[in-house]
Copies of this chain bind each other. A is one copy, B any other.
Amino acid sequence: MSTVGELVGTAGAEPAQGHTLLLDDQLCFALYAASRAVTARYRPLLEELGLTYPQYLVMLVLWEQDSISVRDLGAALQLESSTLSPLLKRLEAGGLLRRERRPDDERSVAIRLTEAGARLKERARTVPVDIGAAMGLTPEQHTLTQQLLRLLTANVSQG
């Protein structure tokens, strides 16, 4: 099974949206299992960088936009400050970033990469490539999955 066409073609073979209580009918379970499987696949790669998976996501945001508030980081990753605060503390302890209160608004905390944090980006470059290969999806399947997941997230987030 390798093309979208083949996937669509087999769709009729199973009852769509069973609304039953069977585990294998639940899209939620497919999602939950896939998410943990992908995270597990990342684990050994990220271990070499000294990062967990959520920490890696934080670093992705910082490599893209340095000096960001905890608030905006939370908005980007859809995580609460109760999750981010201790996570950022660990990254700071690991020497990858610094947290400083903003002078113009002392409520806000700016997250800035250290030199080590910025340097780590180079070592991380191969990670998306390796994971992409492990996922084994065609470019078409990859894009389609991403779009379906975004649609699902948008609908579920408040519809």
**B-binding segment of A15-23, A88-96, A105-113:** A15-23
- A16 in complex: contacting residue of B37, B78, B135, B140, CB < 8 Å: B140
Count, chain A residues at interface, CB 8 A: 73
- A76 in complex: contacting residue of B23, B31, B35, CB < 8 Å: B23
For A42, the chain B residues whose CB sits under 8 A away are 28
- A21 in complex: contacting residue of B34, B60, B139, B157, CB < 8 Å: B60
Q: Measured between alpha carbons, how far is A64 from B153 in the docked complex, in Å? A: 28
Interface: A49 (CB within 8 A): no
For A81, the chain B residues whose CB sits under 8 A away are none
Interface: A124 (CB within 8 A): yes
Query: Given A37-B78, A38-B156, is A27 in contact with B125 using a C-beta cutoff of 8 Å?
Result: no
For A10, the chain B residues whose CB sits under 8 A away are 147
Report A137-158 residues with CB < 8 Å from chain B CB: 137, 139-153, 155-157
Query: Given A18-B128, A35-B32, is A27 in contact with B135 using a C-beta cutoff of 8 Å?
Result: yes
Rounded to whole Å, the gap between the CB of A39 and the closest CB of chain B is: 7
A26-B128, A33-B77, A38-B152 are known; give 7 further A-B pairs, CB within 8 A: A11-B143, A20-B128, A27-B145, A31-B38, A33-B153, A134-B159, A137-B152
